[in-house]
Amino acid sequence: MSAVLTAAIERFPIAGNFTIARGSKTEALVVSVRLERHGHIGRGECTPYARYGETPETTLAAIEALAPAIADGMTRQDLQSALPPGAARNALDCAFWDLEAKQAGTSVAMLAGIALPKRIETAFTISLGTPDAMADAAAKVAHLPLLKIKLGAAGDAERLGAVRAAAPGTRLVVDANEGWHVDDLEVLLDICRHCRVELVEQPLPAGSDAALASIEHSVPICADESVHALDGLEALAGRYDAINIKLDKTGGLTEALAVASRAEALGLSIMVGCMVSTSLSMLPARLLASRARWVDLDGPLLLAEDRPDGLVYHGGAIQAGASALWGG
């Protein structure tokens, strides 16, 4: 059945700034999608990522180029071969899921056969900064159950030590965003182990991570930039202990669910993650939470203001409940 597509670039200011090894930003640039069919509206959102060669403008153009095909009856299944994995396909895929559920008078979770947990603990991200600044930020949220610490620059040992001292009872994961060098890896991993870090995310650059197969993993290591979708997933076994599934990488919920199943078959643990974006991006991703050992869906918490009818967070957890924003 045909549908009418509209899409737009939107800006959401970040509360302060968000800094990782590759740079800082003060706003989240997202592309939102609406699919309308017989009075029903399905919505989706994506966050184009420069690291993967995406811009908001090229992503919007890729989405709008499919308007004639969508008007001619393109389905979610057709979409999987019409666009490669990435941000553009994610926004459309999630909008199709939302539209299908609304037309069926049910929720996306029910449509996908997924039981949502009543409470989902999520990491809260501490941006890269000086040891003192990161310690101050961690101390303010030391009551939360899980913090994600952005590293990937000279002085990481001092940063991590300062954060651990400021939040002695909080679970920690570390994200180096490809910023470590292989020569320092084992020392940094041992420091992480000493600081009771549960997981180290993407320590080495994607494409230069073969060394991970030959060193001791004193802390489990998770692939992020090294894994996008189903293609190439098998090559990660032996190098990584876990993968970070992000819908903006897989190209939507459809392939994300397939990636989760394949990762489980390969013995890889799962983290479900996000870009800095609104609840419209988090709601589809939370459908993977029951399969994830670590959940990092704090995007809206980093914004100055979320969309109306967004997710409810309390005490470091996403609260259960239907949403008028996406998915039912």
Write the pLDDT tens digit of every residue in 252-269: 999 999 999 999 999 999
Is 201 annotated in some ligand binding site? Answer: yes
Indicate whether 190 pLDDT > 80.
Answer: yes
C-beta of residue 130 within 8 angstroms of C-beta of residue 140:
no
Q: Provide the β-strand partners of residue 8.
A: 32
Same domain assignment for residues 235 and 136? yes
pLDDT digits (tens, 9 = 90+) for 269-327: 999 999 999 999 999 999 999 999 999 999 999 999 999 999 999 999 999 887 899 99
Say yes or no: 136 and 70 in one domain.
no
Same domain, 123 and 52: no
The answer to whether 66 and 94 are in contact (CB under 8 A) is no
Is the C-alpha dihedral spanning 315, 317, 320, 324 positive or negative?
positive
Among 105, 135, 157, identify where a domain stops.
105
CATH assignment of the domain containing 94? 3.30.390.10
Q: Cβ-count burial of 113 within 10 angstroms (0-12 exposed, 13-18 middle, 19+ buried)? A: exposed
Note whether residue 284 is domain-resident. yes
pLDDT, tens only, 210-238: 999 999 999 999 999 999 999 999 999 89
**Rounded distance, CA 245 to CA 100, Å?**
23
Q: Which of 283, 304, 302, 328 is nearest to 120 (CA)?
A: 283
CB half-sphere exposure, 233, CA atoms < 13 A? 25
Q: What is the CATH number of the domain that holds 301?
A: 3.20.20.120
Examine the residue annotation and report whether 25 is marked as an active-site residue of this protein: no
Among 74, 105, 136, residue at a domain's last position: 105
Residue 30 lies in a domain: yes
Decide if 246 is catalytic.
yes
Last residue of a domain, one of 70, 105, 140: 105
- Look at residue 113 and tell me if it is in a domain: no
Q: Does 85 fall in a domain? A: yes
Task: Report yes or no on 75 lying in a domain.
Answer: yes
Same domain, yes or no: 63 and 151: no
Query: Is residue 64 a known part of a binding site?
Result: no
d(CA 66, CA 86): 15
Residues 11, 92 share a domain: yes
Q: Domain check: are 197 and 127 in the same one?
A: yes
Task: Check 25, 102, 118, 150 and give the catalytic one.
Answer: 150
Instruction: Look up the domain containing 29 and give its range.
Output: 4-105
Residue 1 has pLDDT above 80, yes or no: no
- In-domain check, residue 228: yes
* Same domain membership, residue 159 and residue 96: no
Active-site pick, 102, 148, 246, 249: 246
Note the pLDDT tens digit of each residue in 52-106.
Answer: 999 999 999 999 999 999 999 999 999 999 999 999 999 999 999 999 999 999 9
Looking at the DSSP assignment, which residues form a beta bridge with residue 14?
303
Ligand-binding annotation for 306, yes or no, is: no
Asked whether residue 303 falls in the same domain as residue 173, the answer is yes
Per residue, the 3-state secondary structure of 17-58, as one string, reads EEEECCEEEEEEEEEEEEEEECCEEEEEEECCCHHHCCCHHH
Examine residue 327 and state whether it is found in any structural domain, yes or no: no
Confirm whether pTM is higher than 0.95: yes
180 DSSP 8-state letter? -
